[in-house]
Structure 1
Amino acid sequence: MKTTRLASQRGTSTLITGTGGLGYEVALALARAGGRVILAGRNAAKGAEAMAAISAVVPGSEVAFEMVDLASLQSVRDLGTRLRARGQPLDRLINNAGIMSPPALELTADGHEMQFGVNYLAHFALTAEVLPLLRASRQARVVNVTSLAQHYAKFDLDDLRSEKGYHPGRAYCGSKLLQAMFARELQGRSDAEGWGVTSLAAHPGFAGTNLFETGGGVSRFVSTRVILPLLGQSAAAGALPTLFAATSPSVTGGELYGPTGFMQMSGSPGPGKYAKIVHDEGLRAEVWRRSEDLVGNRYG
């Protein structure tokens, strides 16, 4: 799969968080293949722009927008309530939206460090909210978009929310590690409980997206002006591992997919490697328990 040409996706319905960058590219590719796409984000104007852009490329495509602020668990619950009320089965959930390394500590509406809350906890909550719709599908998949940053996380189970001190990069890496752990654990829970959901993780390598806009300083300059031109790839190419995880018949539940080129930064999608800590079943189970406590919702 070297391009975004997919097998027909007619009859499928996909919910994607994020209206730009990777989320937009994934939505565009699925719409081109005939799939129904729901983009979810906090900015209605950007949502309208994304829908218009997709419709311009794919006239007659089924693309919709839903409002959700991932920095508010109540907003996530409201989205879940609206979708469940409609009762339409959901074939895929792509937990894609995120922020990276805001220089100063920011908190969500629920008092969580922003990257932990938006990148991980909101998606954990959203997946629980739409689980009944996923279970109603015969081919449900959940794809958590993680990052190579998971390999650099300094994990502290007792400091998931950076309460012991905030460091932008450390918090970002930790949030992406948690998404990877979530993807792996969700597959085990689905198998054990008979949910019928295939859970996967994907990472884009080093892709040129608007994620860098939340960062700043020298690191942003070096990343976007030096590393990206030499080793990175476009947002469209970065979306390929997510599309592979979401649509390929050859995936294995619980696994990670990403670029297979140099240092996994670019190239055609294929199997990737989790950070070693992701394979710790006991740790994953404890993170899951604590996450359920924080969102106030029990899976299943």
Structure 2
Amino acid sequence: MTTFTDAQIPALTGRTIVVTGANSGIGRAATGMLAAKGAHVVLAVRDLAKGRAAAATMTGDIDVQQLDLADLASVRAFAERSTEPIDVLINNAGLMIPPLGRTADGFELQFGTNHLGHFALTNLLLPRIRGRVVTVSSTGHRTGTIDFDDLNWQRRRYRAFPAYAQSKLANLLFTLELQHRLTEAGSPVIATAAHPGLAATNLLGHLENGQSPLRWLQTNFLGHLAQSEEAGALPVVYAAVADVPGGSYAGPSGFLESRGAPKLVGRSGAARDSALARRLWTVSEELTGVTFPLAAASGEHRSGPPGHGR
């Protein structure tokens, strides 16, 4: 099997790719790779100034648009502005272990941003998506559980990492059920997922020096072991453009999936639980007011991921 590198990214001229959270980290690195291959890339970012600053460092056809995944009104406004066909949607934006916070709609910040915001965005954009949806998860999903009695951490003492793990498990359950629904609808669109392994990004940038042992760990330990943002972005790009099946999950091929060239990887038993995925989907529809928009066997979408057959 040929190792997937940026040299294996196909020509993407004429393709439109939307990347959430693309002003930094994995999203910025993925955007740079995709734009360099000719794609029209939309940076969907919360902070327009930071998005424009990131775009200025890249070469290619790049558009910056405002999107706050922690505000469903912003998600709806972005979807209403997005009237052109989209070949790939990359649900990349995410928060990792911040202090307890709430979204504009009252959801726990990590669950609301990492899962519910992307759930709503994907379903609102789906009538215009013609290739695939890629959702970025984490190896942290393996410790995650979905607590339907307290999804928003209102009854329990808040613990940031379990809340993060819940949101990352939700990302994979979303991908599982989305692929099931796309297949049942007869749509050629596919849903995939990816994780970057251990990558040197600013995901823990909200922690001040000395505020948390995790900040010390990132500075003094993880920084020496982590791969670059570009290497961490490769599994995401692989899931977006390579010839992989619907429902697949990509990650690094090295030790404990922490680094290395991308390949298809496994996931926890909970992340493969179709009943759990259906239940989460139903609850997510109730919480967001957004539902799956495709009629069965509509066949209206054009097939094929960019540059490859299915």
TM-score of the two chains, using structure 1 as the length reference: 0.92
Q: Matches of 2:234 and 2:65 in 1, distance apart?
A: 24
Provide structure 2 residue ranges, at least 5 long, that are not aligned to the other structure: 294-310
Q: Is it true that 1:173 corresponds to 2:152 in the alignment?
A: no
Q: Is it true that 1:201 corresponds to 2:193 in the alignment?
A: yes
In 1, are the aligned partners of 2:75 and 2:120 still within 8 Å (CA)? yes
Structure 1 residue aligned with 2:17: 14
In 2, are the aligned partners of 1:206 and 1:228 still within 8 Å (CA)? no
In 2, are the aligned partners of 1:101 and 1:214 still within 8 Å (CA)? no
In 1, are the aligned partners of 2:44 and 2:67 still within 8 Å (CA)? yes
In 2, are the aligned partners of 1:16 and 1:27 still within 8 Å (CA)? yes
Q: Percent identity?
A: 40
Aligned length: 285
Q: Is it true that 1:119 corresponds to 2:114 in the alignment?
A: yes
Structure 1 residue aligned with 2:256: 263
Provide structure 1 residue ranges, at least 5 long, that are not aligned to the other structure: none
- Please state how far the C-alpha of 1:20 moved relative to its aligned partner: 0.9
Give the alignment's Cα RMSD to 1 decimal: 1.2
Structure 1 residue aligned with 2:303: none
User: Residue 78 of structure 2 aligns to which amino acid in structure 1?
Assistant: L
Write out aligned runs for 1:50-89 (5 A): 50-54=54-58, 58=59, 61-84=60-83, 88-89=84-85
Write out aligned runs for 1:227-246 (5 A): 227-230=222-225, 232-246=226-240
Q: Matches of 2:200 and 2:20 in 1, distance apart?
A: 18
Question: Cα deviations across residues 127-155 of structure 1 (Å, max 9, x unaligned)?
Answer: 01101111xx2xx1100000000001133
User: Residue 99 of structure 1 aligns to which amino acid in structure 2?
Assistant: L
User: Residue 148 of structure 1 aligns to which amino acid in structure 2?
Assistant: T
Write out aligned runs for 1:1-300 (5 A): 1-5=3-7, 6-18=9-21, 19-54=23-58, 58=59, 61-84=60-83, 88-103=84-99, 105-134=100-129, 137=130, 140-165=131-156, 166-215=158-207, 216-230=211-225, 232-249=226-243, 251-300=244-293
- Please state how far the C-alpha of 1:157 moved relative to its aligned partner: 2.4
In structure 1, the residue corresponding to 2:113 is in which secondary structure?
helix
User: Residue 179 of structure 1 aligns to which amino acid in structure 2?
Assistant: N
TM-score of the two chains, using structure 2 as the length reference: 0.89
Divergent runs of 4+, >3 A: none
